[in-house]
A and B are shown apart, each in its own frame.
Chain A
Amino acid sequence: AQTVTQSQPEMSVQEAETVTLSCTYDTSESDYYLFWYKQPPSRQMILVIRQEAYKQQNATENRFSVNFQKAAKSFSLKISDSQLGDAAMYFCAWSTNAGNNRKLIWGLGTSLAVNP
């Protein structure tokens, strides 16, 4: 069975600095997606970034980038120039790209605090 592990329940970063959130996963499939979602306090969960497993190039979205290491089954999120608005719970998730029942497998989340 697929699993997603976020080994850091809580992290903190100083405003304007860089932080990396870790995520590892386990799967025997070769075609899948990986995601980072952000859930700010009392606000809805939104997609931050996604990566297709067959693409070697790491995905980037403005200050957010990933380090996708397929062989190591690692998918870390780097936040550059951290802002107060980045404070949130971050969830890593995995999904197969095959078949109809493409449920997401979620990590337990990392709570990120941004210190002014």
Chain B
Amino acid sequence: DVKVTQSSRYLVKRTGEKVFLECVQDMDHENMFWYRQDPGLGLRLIYFSYDVKMKEKGDIPEGYSVSREKKERFSLILESASTNQTSMYLCASREGNTGANVLTFGAGSRLTVL
């Protein structure tokens, strides 16, 4: 089974801190995604990556950046965390740009910014 692992299930940070959310997948998937999930707003795409060192903005990239130096790892970075970035963050991976477009998700990282 494809496994997508998010390094932290729960994080509490202070306003202005730099936050790293790490995601690792173990099945050589080309594509990786970061979503934000908020009640009543569903899933919103922050960034996605088609390949190593490739990234594209999603629907809500403001306040976030990403890094993909290795194929298996996709990091989400909050340069200066703010309280409105308190949320559940979901990482997902996909085999490639063809086929059934099925995403495999990690368990999520719940971030609280105080």
In the bound complex, do residue B101 and residue A108 qualify as a contact, i.e. CB atoms below 8 Å apart?
Answer: no
- Chain B nearest Cβ from A113, distance in angstroms: 16
**Interface size of B in residues (CB-CB distance below 8 Å):** 21
User: Contacts A44-B107, A45-B105: A102 and B42 contacting too (C-beta < 8 A)?
Assistant: no
Q: Mark B95-114, 1 if CB is under 8 A from A, else 0.
A: 00100111101111000000
User: Contacts A50-B100, A104-B101: A91 and B43 contacting too (C-beta < 8 A)?
Assistant: yes
User: Contacts A44-B108, A45-B105: A108 and B41 contacting too (C-beta < 8 A)?
Assistant: yes
In the bound complex, do residue B42 and residue A46 qualify as a contact, i.e. CB atoms below 8 Å apart?
Answer: no
Within the assembled complex, what's the spacing in Å between the Cα atoms of A102 and B98? Answer: 9
Q: Can you report 13 residue pairs joining A to B where beta carbons are below 8 Å apart?
A: A33-B100, A33-B101, A43-B107, A44-B105, A47-B102, A47-B103, A95-B101, A101-B56, A102-B97, A103-B45, A104-B103, A106-B42, A106-B43
Q: Chain A: interface residue count, which band?
A: 20 to 34
In the bound complex, do residue A102 and residue B43 qualify as a contact, i.e. CB atoms below 8 Å apart?
Answer: no
Residue of B nearest to A46 (CB): B105
